[in-house]
Amino acid sequence: MLLSHPMAFISQIIFALLLGTAIWFFTKRVGFIRRNILLGKDLKLNDNPAARWKQMFLVALGQSKMVVKPIPGILHIIVYAGFILINIEVVEILIDGLFGTHRVLAFFGPIYNIAIGFFEILALGVLVACVIFLVRRYVLKIGRFQSPELKGWANRDAAIILVTEIVLMAALLEMNACDQILQSRDAAHYIKAGSFPISQFLVPFFSSFSDASLVVFERSAWWFHIVGILVFLNYVPYSKHWHIIMSFPNVWYTPLKPKGAFSNIDAVTTEVKLMMDPMAAPPEGYQPPAGFGARDVKDLTWKNLMDAYSCTECGRCTSVCPANTTGKLLSPRKVMMDTRDRLEEYGKNLDAGTTDDKDLHSYISSEELWACTTCNACAEACPVNINPVDIIVQMRQYLVMEKSAAPSELNSMFTNLENNGAPWQFGQSEKANWIHNA
């Protein structure tokens, strides 16, 4: 129904300006993230699209890896479904805000009523799930949420997200409660539409108010809800919650090769072949490598950088890491968070035309890198198919091949391989002596 009161046109203008501003800021931030990801080295990951679509539907959309831990998995699915489906109602709010209507989609009749009722049930589910998540994190203090890398901003970020979702769902239910009272009183512009299985229980708290007061409450909740969504929209790309968008492309572009299958460095292979055959000609267009491994974020692949922006900070990777479990410094979650933080810093420096003396190794220490057993438990556990091991291995390659900074145990092995053709410290002539002791 079209609203006809004098403030309707002014309200539409304000709404359009807010919407346009929110979209502009969101687009600008997304462009910054996209540019940062594309700073990474090229990597072809578009083979076997059928397998990739299947993987995305199962893992990103179907949440198949979330339910390995049933309780948080089910709660996450509720929040996830709420986020996706309740936003259908936001479409109606956007139309109403731009054109000065109220419940413009009510002409769908029974379908509309069922949808509004379903959205209310989802809203309650999201609200309860977020409360439980807050209790798990800040009251029960689940172990994987107490790691050092979550101190400070990361911890506050999680609280902001959960509290915001609770408040937005509460505003939606309050709006509907006031709306249904106004409907029952045949108030102007409040047509009878929707079903309210949850907000009906809030009616007694508002039923004693006058129509004018209820309109103020309903409109205030409406504005609070949509402005909150627009603010949240622009907060998300700065938050770990960005994974709600990034999880889909990140899973789709997951390498289909088995986990733990390392790739040869083509430049090294070429150099070795040229050394072994001095008469061999370099491949056409071949340029000697400028360096090996990853010193900074630009030396990683774009998929590694997409992984960093897709991290949910859930800590499932760290909770299954054998190095972390045995008290070593390594936390796969911290590796991803550090990579993202450095990439953000690198991108801001690029925009400002400045440089700094830092690199990725300023964030991730060699002690952390060499603690990794490359077992890939972290990659297997990640709900959105992030692979910290790939980053760790590339950073190790830089330490070994550029800095000659391997641990002493590995340096001894390298020396033995070079001199004896085996990792053990005995000569070539003694290689087969073990046979005599068999």
Which residue, 422, 424, 399, 15, is CA-closest to 230?
Answer: 15
- Find out whether 147 and 318 touch, Cβ atoms under 8 Å: yes
- Inter-helix orientation angle 110-138/70-99, to 10°: 130
Same structural domain for residues 12 and 156?
yes
Handedness of CA 142, 145, 147, 152 (dihedral sign): negative
Same structural domain for residues 119 and 68?
yes
Total structural domains in the chain? Answer: 2
Q: Which long-range contacts (CB under 8 A, 24 or more apart) does 75-79 make?
A: 75/129, 75/132, 75/133, 76/129, 78/122, 78/125, 78/126, 78/129, 79/125, 79/126, 79/129, 79/130, 79/133, 79/165
> 211 in a domain, yes or no?
yes
CATH number, domain containing residue 274: 1.10.1060
Same structural domain for residues 218 and 303?
no
> 431 in a domain, yes or no?
no
How many Cβ atoms sit within 10 Å of the Cβ of residue 120?
24
How many angstroms separate the CA atoms of 422 and 321, rounded? 30
> 63 in a domain, yes or no?
yes
> 407 in a domain, yes or no?
yes
Same structural domain for residues 181 and 41?
yes
Same structural domain for residues 329 and 243?
no
Q: What is the pLDDT of residue 437?
A: 64
Same structural domain for residues 297 and 239?
no
Which residue, 185, 177, 263, 284, is CA-closest to 220?
Answer: 177
Same structural domain for residues 53 and 190?
yes
Indicate the residue among 227, 252, 277 that finishes a domain.
252
How many angstroms separate the CA atoms of 339 and 358, rounded? 12
> 258 in a domain, yes or no?
no
Indicate the residue among 218, 252, 286 that finishes a domain.
252
Same structural domain for residues 222 and 163?
yes
> 259 in a domain, yes or no?
no
Same structural domain for residues 80 and 212?
yes
Q: What is the pLDDT of residue 6?
A: 53
Range of the domain at 163: 7-252
* 301 beta partners: 41
> 412 in a domain, yes or no?
yes
Same structural domain for residues 289 and 418?
yes
Residues of the chain with pLDDT below 70 are 1-8, 434, 437-438
Indicate the residue among 219, 252, 285 that finishes a domain.
252
pLDDT in tens, 251-299: 999 999 888 888 777 888 888 888 888 788 888 888 877 788 999 999 9
> 404 in a domain, yes or no?
yes
Which residue, 188, 246, 253, is CA-closest to 218?
Answer: 188
Same structural domain for residues 322 and 226?
no
Same structural domain for residues 62 and 27?
yes
pLDDT in tens, 347-400: 999 999 999 999 999 999 999 999 999 999 999 999 999 999 999 999 999 999
How many angstroms separate the CA atoms of 28 and 227, rounded? 19
